[in-house]
Amino acid sequence: MTAVPPGAAAGSSPSAITTATASANTNIALIKYWGKVDEAQAIPATSSLSLTLGGTRTTTTVSFDGGDGAADSVTINGASPSAVELERVTRFLDLVRARSGVTAPATITSRASVPLAAGLASSAAGFAALAAAASRAAGMDLDGRELSRLARRGSGSATRSVFGGLVLWNAGHDDASSYAEPVACEMDLAMVVVVLSQRYKPISSTLAMRATMSSSPLFPAWVEASGRDLQVALEAVRAGDLARLGEIVEGNALGMHATMIAARPGIIYWLPQTVAALHAIRAMREEGLPVWATIDAGPNVKVLTEGARAEEVAAALRDRLTGTAVSVRRPGGGVRIEEGPCP
Ligand code: DP6
Ligand 1 closest atom vs CA 206: 6
What is the pLDDT at residue 8?
A: 35
* Residue 27, beta-bridge partner list: 52
Ligand 1 atom 4: the closest Cα is on which residue?
A: 296
pTM equals 0.94
Mutation probe of ligand 1 site: the residue of 28, 32, 33 with most atoms within 8 A of C-beta: 33
Query: Mind listing the pLDDT tens digit for each residue in 209-220?
Result: 999 999 999 999
ipTM of the complex: 0.99
* Residue 249, beta-bridge partner list: none
Ligand 1 centre distance from Cα of residue 157 (Å): 5
Ligand 1 closest atom vs CA 296: 1
Ligand 1 closest atom vs CA 32: 18
Query: Mind listing the pLDDT tens digit for each residue in 43-101?
Result: 999 999 999 999 999 999 999 999 998 999 999 999 999 999 999 999 999 999 999 99
Ligand 1 centre distance from Cα of residue 259 (Å): 15
Of the candidates 69, 59, 132, 137, the one whose C-alpha atom is nearest the C-alpha of residue 97 is 137
Q: What is the DSSP string of 208-247?
A: HHHHHHHH-TTHHHHHHHHHHHHHHHHHHHHHT-HHHHHH
Mutation probe of ligand 1 site: the residue of 153, 157, 252 with most atoms within 8 A of C-beta: 157
Q: What angle do CA 337, 341, 343 make, to 5 degrees?
A: 115
Ligand 1 centre distance from Cα of residue 183 (Å): 20
C-alpha span between 303 and 90 (Å, rounded): 35
Ligand 1 closest atom vs CA 48: 18
Ligand 1 centre distance from Cα of residue 121 (Å): 11
Q: pLDDT band for 119, please (50, 70, 90 cuts).
A: low
Tell me the mean pLDDT in the region 320-328: 94
Residue 203: exposure state from Cβ atoms within 10 A (0-12, 13-18, ≥19):
middle
Q: pLDDT band for 292, please (50, 70, 90 cuts).
A: very high
Top-confidence residue, 13 or 102: 102
Tell me the mean pLDDT in the region 311-333: 96
Residues with CB under 6 A from ligand 1: 29, 32-34, 48, 123, 155-157, 205-206, 296-297
